[in-house]
Each structure stands twice: as C-alpha cells, then as structure tokens.
Amino acid sequence: MPIGIGGAVLAVICAIVAGVALAGGAAGVFGGALGVWIVGMLLSLAASFASLWAPVIVSGAALVVALVLGGIIHAVLLSTPTRMPVAETTEADVEAATAPTAKPRAGVQTSTVPAVAS
C-alpha cells in the first residue's frame, strides 16, 4: 500500500508540472512530466492489488484536471492581445541619426588588428 500512495503522490506532482508546462507552452517539460506521471501511475496501480483504488483514481483525476486547466489557461493567454512597446524618440535621437558620419579613407586600415604580411 505505501508504494501505491507514493506513486500517487509522484503522479499528482507530475500532473501539476504538466499542467503548468501546458499552460506555458513548454512542450519538452510537458513531455517529461507526462513520462514521469506514467511511472507514478504504474506505481499507484500496485495499491489496486490490495483493493485500494483511491491512489489510482487520484492519479488519473489529477492528470485530467491538470490537462483541462492547463489547456484553458493556455487558450486564455493566447487570446489576450500583446502590444509592442512604442519607442519614444527625442530631438537628440533624431539629430544623432541624421548627423553625417565620416567615411574611412581608401588605403587606411580601420580595424584594430594589425595586418600580417605573407
């Protein structure tokens, strides 16, 4: 029985991580959490041999709730419009952008690395 409860606890923790990852759109974390959830679910199945079905039901229900809530939160986050910040320009920025720049003269080395003769 303790291994079944331990498996259920592991499955619930991984279901929470999977729900948060699904809400955030992190597919890799979601896949990893789901893989570990399967191990926790298999461990909670050990309690079913003692006719204790509560750990199995809790493990399955935790994943269903996490997937539903994670999907809803992800959909809400995607539906909110995102706005790009508008850059404020000042007169100094405009003057600096239009100021003439000196072009390098022909035959003058412009880099700081000295040329190596071959």
Are residues 10 and 39 in contact, defined by beta-carbon separation less than 8 angstroms?
Answer: yes
Q: Higher model confidence: residue 66 or residue 84?
A: 66
pLDDT at position 118 = 59
Which of 55-64, 74-83, 85-94 tops mean pLDDT?
A: 55-64
**Which residue has tokens 């809790």?**
58
Q: What span, in angstroms and rounded, lies between the C-alpha atoms of 47 and 1? A: 5
Residue 3 has pLDDT above 70, yes or no: yes
pTM of the predicted structure, to 2 decimals: 0.65
Kindly list the domain boundaries of the chain, sorted by start residue: 2-79
Tokens matching residue 13: 């923790």
Residue 18 burial by Cβ neighbours in a 10 Å radius (0-12, 13-18, 19+): buried
Q: pLDDT tens for residues 17-76?
A: 999 999 999 999 999 999 999 999 999 998 888 888 899 999 999 999 999 999 999 999
Tokens matching residue 3: 């291994």
Radius of gyration of the chain (CA): 29
